[in-house]
């Protein structure tokens, strides 16, 4: 049973960089069958996809956040990470990591495993 | 990329059926069969209910079904139960190889 767990500071100052890590247990971040994603949810609002990374290091980001986002993977620690620079109060949200499964035929099977989420508040 | 369009709220009585729509464009919903639906209870992480427009993950009740016509996808819940009360989000793969979510729909079971 694969599990994901987000970790990182719960409070970040404006203009600084938000850094979060997602630890994968019960499975391998190096598997070629998965894309590892970050999603966030501001208080009382909907879900926003941030971006994903493949084990090879290939990434893709939400165009609205692309200039500030970096997602990386550390296969030795079985983790992937999110960095969001120049944060403002608008970046206050619950941040989730999730897994997108791709089957043997190359079809995507949705975000089938999610972490519990971690709350990040941007405030001085 | 613009968020997919969902109704803000829907409601139904126990035992009834409800349908939630999710409208996008030919660059996302209409262009790919990669629409998925997520259920989110308050304070909890989203849960995958439907993927690839109409497929159910193992363990998801067959009361949940999905479909698509053109640029609009739909989630239908039949035999509504109190435990179905939650927020529901659609998501689609896009022509930019990204993912986009809908704004979410609050389901109230009367």
The answer to whether the beta carbons of residues A95 and A114 sit under 8 Å apart is no
Helix (H, G, I), strand (E, B) or coil at A99: strand
Residues of A in contact with B40 (CB under 8 A): 47
Give the whole-angstrom CA distance, residue B64 versus residue B57.
Answer: 11
What strands, in cross-sheet order, belong to the sheet with A3-7? A3-7, A18-25, A79-84, A69-74
Residues of A in contact with B46 (CB under 8 A): 47, 96, 111, 114
CB spacing of A108 vs B102 below 8 angstroms: no
pLDDT in tens, chain B (110 residues): 799 999 999 999 999 999 999 999 999 999 999 999 999 999 999 999 999 999 999 999 999 999 999 999 999 999 999 999 999 999 999 999 999 999 999 999 99
pLDDT at res. B24: 98
Compute, in degrees rounded to 10, the torsion defined by CA atoms B4, B7, B9, B13.
-120
* Min distance A95 CA to chain B CA atoms (Å): 10
Which residues in chain A belong to E strands, given as ranges?
A: 3-7, 11-12, 18-25, 34-41, 48-54, 59-61, 69-74, 79-84, 93-102, 108-114, 118-122
pLDDT at res. A107: 82
> Which segments in chain A show pLDDT lower than 70?
none
pLDDT at res. B78: 98
pLDDT at res. A55: 86
pLDDT at res. A56: 87
For residue A90, report the phi and psi dihedrals to the nearest 5 degrees: -65, -15
The answer to whether B51 faces chain A, any CB pair under 8 Å, is yes
Give the whole-angstrom CA distance, residue A33 versus residue B5.
Answer: 30
Residues of A in contact with B3 (CB under 8 A): 46
pLDDT at res. A92: 98
Burial class (CB in 10 A: 0-12, 13-18, 19+), A11: exposed
């Amino acid at each position: 049973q694969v599990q994901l767990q987000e970790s990182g500071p719960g409070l970040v100052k404006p203009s600084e960089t938000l850094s979060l890590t997602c630890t994968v247990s019960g499975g391998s971040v190096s598997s070629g069958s998965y894309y590892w994603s970050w999603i966030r949810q501001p208080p009382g609002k909907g879900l926003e996809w941030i971006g994903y990374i493949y084990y090879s290091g290939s990434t893709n980001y939400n165009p609205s956040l692309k200039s500030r986002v970096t997602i990386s993977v550390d296969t030795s620690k079985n983790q992937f990470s999110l960095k969001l620079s120049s944060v403002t109060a608008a970046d206050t949200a619950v941040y989730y990591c999730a897994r997108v499964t791709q089957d043997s035929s190359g079809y995507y099977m949705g975000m089938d495993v999610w972490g519990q989420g971690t709350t990040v508040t941007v405030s001085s | 990329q613009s968020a997919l369009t969902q109704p803000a709220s829907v409601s139904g009585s126990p035992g009834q059926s409800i349908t939630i729509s999710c409208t996008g464009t030919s660059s996302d919903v209409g262009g790919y069969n990669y629409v998925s639906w997520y259920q989110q209870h308050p304070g909890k992480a989203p849960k995958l209910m439907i993927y690839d427009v109409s497929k159910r993950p193992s363990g998801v009740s067959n009361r949940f079904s999905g479909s698509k016509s053109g640029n609009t996808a739909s989630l239908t819940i039949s035999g509504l139960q109190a435990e179905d009360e939650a927020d529901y989000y659609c998501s689609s793969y896009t022509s930019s190889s990204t993912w986009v979510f809908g704004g979410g729909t609050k389901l109230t079971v009367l």
